[in-house]
Chain A
Amino acid sequence: MANLKEIRIRIASVQSTQKITSAMKMVSAAKLRRAQNAILTLRPYSNKLTEILGNIASSDTQDNPLAEVRPINNVLVVLIASNKGLCGGFNSNIIKHTEHLLSHDLAQPHKNNNVQFLCIGKRVSDYVRNKQYPCIGCYDHLLDNPSFEDIANIADGFMNDYTTKKYDKIIIVYNEFKNAATQVLTDSQYLPIPTTMGKIQTSKVDYIFEPDKDTLYQSLIPKIMKVRLYKCLLDSIASEHGARMTAMHKATENANELIKSLNLTYNKLRQSSITNEIIEIVSGANALNA
């Protein structure tokens, strides 16, 4: 059994770790609030845009080059994760899911080395580099400073690559934000445009369309695509902070338990050593008296 001094040192070290984890939890909580706000302000914009698209979309406006489904040869997978660790299964879930995709849905193009990657987040770019998968770019800085303009440029590139048939499918793998404690791992098909999108017929208002429905539809689609990508990024950022907050909360709790049990052993040891000392003194005195 460990001696008193060892346990004392152990307790001190667990305590200082606990201080760090609880501080990290606070920091994540503050960052989460900011990330959540960003999503909440984006939501009305994207909802309205989708609603307007639904008002415009009709059967005669469906021949969009971005909605065209082609046989899958070349695939681009966009991975969104985090720059830092210590956030539970946040990053490893993404990586696990990517492996799953590569061995199931994308097995054929992967065998022909036709699956390319685009990474947002150091953790996933390291993973792709280690595995030596073809990577067309890393945008790690976007996580610290998610600007709509940068995302819009990337989305423009995607749409261009899709229409020039460089890729036949673009998939985004990211963590969708449900609430602070729950993240849902999602792989969403970015292009071709999923058929469910923009088909919700809403109001029957007789709008004046200027210049005409078709032109409006064609010009709205790129906007929607940019917002979709931006939303994925913001979702992932909020999820990251949520995941880190939960992980750090658990770590703090575990440290508490550990300290409790260490304290118990420490006190037991201390008591038994005191008892030992008393016995020694008493027996020593008895020996003198005898």
Chain B
Amino acid sequence: MKVEILTPSASVFEGEANLVQLPGADGLFEILNNHAPLITFLGKGKMKIENKDNTTFFNLDGGVVEVLNNKVLVLAEKCSSI
């Protein structure tokens, strides 16, 4: 599935992933391929993106995530890679 992270000042990440782990409002949750359409907001914490070759982490500071048609779109107010 495709993953995209947007912030007001830049597009932080765009790429393929097998698994995305996100800090939900009530705790961590994961999104796998072919997830059902979902909209929820995110809390503060670490975000993990896993694909075949490597795993990347990002620091998130609140935001919204939309999952639709095998595409994960994260709208974060602040986001930086670790």
A residues with a Cβ closer than 8 A to B are 38, 41-42, 44-46, 48-49, 52, 55-56, 148-149, 152, 205-211, 216, 219-220, 223, 226-227, 230
Contact = CB atoms under 8 A, between A and B. Distances in A.
B37 A208 contact: yes
A210 B40 contact: yes
What secondary structure prevails in chain B residues at the interface with A?
Answer: strand
B37 A52 contact: no
B11 A41 contact: yes
Nearest to A38: B9
Interface residues of B, number: 22
B59 interface: no
The 9 closest A-B pairs by CB, nearest first: A210-B40, A208-B38, A45-B6, A207-B37, A148-B8, A205-B37, A207-B39, A42-B8, A45-B8
B11 A209 contact: no
B32 interface: no
A266 B64 CA distance: 69
A227 B6 contact: no
Contacts, number: 67
B73 interface: yes
Contact of B64 (A46, A220, A230): A220
Interface string B14-42: 00000000001110000000001111110
A206 B8 contact: no
B50 interface: no
Contacts of A205: 37, 68
Contacts of A52: 39, 64, 66, 75
Nearest to B29: A210
Interface of B: 6-11, 24-26, 36-41, 64, 66, 68, 73, 75, 77-78
Contacts of B25: 210-211
A49 B37 contact: no
B64 A152 contact: no
Contacts of A41: 8-11
Given A52-B64, A152-B77, A209-B39, 15 more contacts: A38-B9, A41-B9, A45-B8, A48-B6, A49-B75, A52-B66, A52-B75, A148-B9, A148-B77, A149-B78, A208-B37, A208-B38, A208-B40, A210-B39, A220-B41
